[in-house]
Structure 1
Amino acid sequence: MKLHHYLYIFLTLLFSCCSFAQDITVHDPVMIKQKDTYYIYCTGQGISVFSSKDLKNWKSEPQIFQEKPLWIDAIVPNFDNHIWAPDISFHNNTYYLYYSVSAFAKNTSAIALATNTTLNPKDPAYKWIDHGIVIQSIPNRDLWNAIDPNLTFDENNTPWLAFGSFWEGLKMVKLNPDLNAIAQPQEWHTIAKRKRTFELPDADPGDGALEAPFLFKKNDYYYLFLSWDLCCRGEKSTYKVVVGRSKTITGPYVDKNGKLLTEGGGTLLIQGDNNWYGAGHNSTYTFDGKDYIIFHAYDAQQNGRPVLQIKQLQWDAALWPML
């Protein structure tokens, strides 16, 4: 019994050293650090923002858009300014914030871009400039969904935008050097896909559900993280995070068993349990020499409230990520 007691204490301390307790409500969090401050951007009214000095204690900051950009109503009628799944990057002394607007359960969607030179709302230079649509998906024209963007750069510093949800899988498209439009001539790639049971009703993604691609370069590989199954259902959420990798940014991506992610492959990394439902929609970063994965999960003790999770990411001998 005493041995079990000490083992429990050891495992508790081990888990605590690699995790950060959080209690802020988030969906689809992304993070960046400016000077000594971390900023989180996530789904919410006008894009929700939080800041922290230590990754533990977070305070709310002003939302990005107090009023919805005027162009949105022409794309998504009666849009209520609840903006989805942003992505934040720093490039050429500018912060690039991609974001999604969509009609739920439809691919009536667009990915747009806003920029700023600082993330600190108290800085006199703080001002988000909206550049409008980068990519748009239209029902009955496109078999993909323009949401869940993630910007990344290849070894030649060429910008690529990964995105997608359900339909015919996750896509990647080359951007122009200004990062505000698709490069010409266009270059598109499918980077992940799941086969959907044909007999399902059109409104049911079923076993074909995947979304939220996020690229992370490490160990001479591009790692593609993505979420399988369903979010946004509180205690009934079934989200989970899987991963594949490739030597080239456009793929092909394979899982630990060598299965292509375009053929339903994916190595399970994060899955919910009886305490935390539907863990998913991750982003991955290196801060101060340590790798972190952040995501949301629904807290069973709080009636399925979506809560921020931050875990330190480790790597096994074969250079695959693990918690």
Structure 2
Amino acid sequence: MTLRRTLTAVAAASLLALLPHAAQAAGSYPDPRPVTGQRIIHDPTVTRLKGGGYVAYSTGGVIGARLSEDGRHWDDAGNAFAEPPSWWYEYNDTGDPWAPDLSYRAGRYWLYYAVSSWGTNHSAIGVATSRTGLPGTWTDHGKVFSSETTDTWNAIDPAIIRADGRLWMSFGSYWSGIRMVELDRHTGKAVADAEVHHLATRPDEPYAVEGPEIVKHGRHYYLFASYDACCSGVDSTYKIKVGRSTDIRGPYADSTGTPMLEGGGDLLLEGHGRYIGTGGQSVFRDRGRDWLAYHYYDAEDEGTPKLGLNALTWAKDGWPKVS
């Protein structure tokens, strides 16, 4: 290597060290963990069950289910429900549920999900509970929160988090972006006259941000969200961005200080190689490690949506990265 090339490389490395977190991550994304079996999935939520093994629920079917003993080989396990609850048909003709979220508290598993139709915010989020978390064991409890065409938000893509003794649900898709309401800890439904907090949006229509997930790490809450367009196979432009706040209600900002209410967000993962349109994400903890679950469209399999799993690690400055 010549002296000029050496000095250039040193200067570039020095500059990179000074760039914000998002710029450092750009262009360098790991492939998902290899998995086998039933890999086709959309909007996955994954949990290690207290009874052993793993379960993943997803958009498709009557909340499609996958089971795994080791987190690597996945088997089709049917659906969460044998039949759609009757109230779902108020929101679409087929009783089609979207984007579930699975959590555990108070001795039960809680499964939140959305029912809506493409292109409208006449939408609702519902909840069901189970002692085991397994498909076929769920009892539905009806609506948690809803939106109408007169609202400036869309009640789909729920995600649950506990913070400071209170229960919160983030949600949202397009319209004005990501919102959040407080839930009653006993019923799991929105508190009376719940204030709708605004967490993230983009400067211009159609405000293409959706699918929130909030995770506590250290003293910060991290808001993960999917940006741009899903559901178009290899033409999808989905990507995952993240910001953080010391208050569950925000304001959330990226590593440059740009608020997520002003279009901010560090790029965590985007399409690369055969793995197109990474998004619809959730985060789960397994044996002391955090994992990012998401779907991607496989460019080597006609754009089929498949399960992506990556370890989620945390840098010294507190920001997450996939590995």
Instruction: Choose which of 103, 117, 130 in structure 1 pairs with 2:117.
Output: 103
- What residue number does 1:9 align with? none
Does the residue aligned with 1:211 lie in a helix, a strand or coil? strand
Q: Are 1:194 and 1:262, in contact at CA under 8 Å, matched by a contact in 2?
A: yes
The answer to whether residue 145 in structure 2 is matched with residue 135 in structure 1 is yes
Q: Residue 280 of structure 1 aligns to which amino acid in structure 2?
A: G
Q: In the TM superposition, what is the alpha-carbon distance from 1:188 to its structure 2 partner?
A: 2.0
Q: In the TM superposition, what is the alpha-carbon distance from 1:168 to its structure 2 partner?
A: 1.0
Does the residue aligned with 1:19 lie in a helix, a strand or coil? coil
Q: Are 2:290 and 2:311, in contact at CA under 8 Å, matched by a contact in 1?
A: yes
Instruction: Choose which of 178, 189, 192 in structure 1 pairs with 2:197.
Output: 189
Q: In the TM superposition, what is the alpha-carbon distance from 1:181 to its structure 2 partner?
A: 2.2
Distance of 1:163 and 1:120 partners within structure 2 = 24
Q: Return closer, same or farther for 1:132/1:240 CA change in 2, 3 Å cut-off.
A: same
Distance of 1:249 and 1:24 partners within structure 2 = 33
Flag as ranges the 4+ runs of structure 1 deviating above 4 A: none
Q: How many residues are treated as equivalent by the alignment?
A: 292
- Post-superposition Cα deviations, 1:80-136, rounded to whole Å, max 9, x if no partner, equal 133100001111001110011111111121100111111245xxxx63111111111
- What residue number does 1:59 align with? 75
Q: Residue 170 of structure 2 aligns to which amino acid in structure 1?
A: A
Q: Residue 86 of structure 2 aligns to which amino acid in structure 1?
A: L
Please report the TM-score for the alignment, with normalisation by the length of structure 1: 0.87
Q: In the TM superposition, what is the alpha-carbon distance from 1:219 to its structure 2 partner?
A: 1.5
Q: In the TM superposition, what is the alpha-carbon distance from 1:185 to its structure 2 partner?
A: 4.3
Distance of 1:77 and 1:25 partners within structure 2 = 24
Q: Are 2:80 and 2:134, in contact at CA under 8 Å, matched by a contact in 1?
A: no
Q: Residue 87 of structure 1 aligns to which amino acid in structure 2?
A: D
Q: Are 2:92 and 2:116, in contact at CA under 8 Å, matched by a contact in 1?
A: no
Q: In the TM superposition, what is the alpha-carbon distance from 1:291 to its structure 2 partner?
A: 1.3
Instruction: Choose which of 170, 174, 193 in structure 2 pairs with 1:166.
Output: 174
- What residue number does 2:251 align with? 252
Q: Are 1:45 and 1:81, in contact at CA under 8 Å, matched by a contact in 2?
A: no
- What residue number does 1:201 align with? none
Q: Residue 137 of structure 1 aligns to which amino acid in structure 2?
A: S
Give unmatched runs, 5+ long, in structure 1.
Answer: 1-14, 198-204
Q: In the TM superposition, what is the alpha-carbon distance from 1:68 to its structure 2 partner?
A: 1.4
Give unmatched runs, 5+ long, in structure 2.
Answer: 1-29
Please report the TM-score for the alignment, with normalisation by the length of structure 2: 0.87
Instruction: Choose which of 12, 17, 40 in structure 2 pairs with 1:25.
Output: 40
Distance of 2:60 and 2:120 partners within structure 1 = 19
Q: Are 1:275 and 1:301, in contact at CA under 8 Å, matched by a contact in 2?
A: yes
